[in-house]
Amino acid sequence: MKLIDKVVLVTGAGSGLGRASALAFAEEGAKVVAADIDQKAGEEASSLINERGGQAIFVKTDITNEASVKALIDTVIQTYGKLDCAHNNAGIMIGGPIIDIDEKDWDKLMSINLKGTWLCMKHELIHMLTNQEGVIINTASAAGLSASPNTALYGTSKWGVNGLTKSAAIEYARQGIRVNSICPAGMKGTKMWLDTFEQDPALSAQLTESVPMGRDTSPEEVAKVVVWLCTDNASFITGVNMPVDGGMSSL
């Protein structure tokens, strides 16, 4: 119970890594605020935590809208009185060659993956600065550490998330706030995995083969890293874009 009585916000908590992260935080004693634009999925995640003896609430949130993000943080503070940790996880995947990307796809993905992460960080930081402490974890990607074909749009957004992470870590290190990102490889069972790889066994096998450890990861495995980064065991770690990719970033 390394996070007992801590208040943790998780965006994109309705499915995939977000849900796994929310559950993992609750298992360590944290009070969880599960945020998602999908009300049904978000409510299911928070209900699952409460059914297992944890404590969670759901807040429907559009992370691309600043008023919605501010309302989310206000709800966290009104409900629990503080915000100790935040996992900015909400995001989408749009792949394909650069010449096939539509302007509307660029705008949509950047608005969610990059602008949304920035808006969440902005309002989380505003509160954390009042207490001079806090931890923020952003979900980036292995695609934000190295390039690969047909991931230019998604990868660019995650390179941006990694840059935001490092900048924020440097800006607020002396104010007691740590900011890191995680850069996972493909996670089996997530919506991104199902939409991108599950329908193409050859592509799925190719991705697995590209991992030096020779296997895929899962949301639950990556969630353990997210939680660890929020504990005192990682108290001297900030400004890190941490690979959780089975060695891919070392190639």
* Residue in 154, 172, 193, 197 annotated catalytic: 154
Answer whether 22's CB lies under 8 Å from 48's CB: no
Cα–Cα distance list, 227 to 72, 200, 224 (Å): 21, 32, 5
Q: Give the C-alpha separation, 100 to 16, whole Å.
A: 27
Residue type, 249: S
Sheet holding 55-60, edge to edge: 55-60, 31-36, 7-11, 85-88, 134-139, 177-184, 241-244
Which tokens belong to 239? Answer: 């400004």
- Which sign, positive or negative, has the C-alpha torsion 18, 87, 120, 162? negative
154 is catalytic: yes
Q: DSSP strand E in the chain: where?
A: 7-11, 31-36, 55-60, 85-88, 134-139, 177-184, 241-244
Cα-to-chain-centroid distance, residue 206: 25
State how far the Cα of 205 lies from the Cα of 12, in Å rounded to an integer: 27
- Half-sphere exposure of residue 180, counting CA atoms within 13 Å on the CB side? 22
Measured distance CA(32)–CA(136) in Å, rounded: 14
Residues annotated catalytic, as ranges: 154
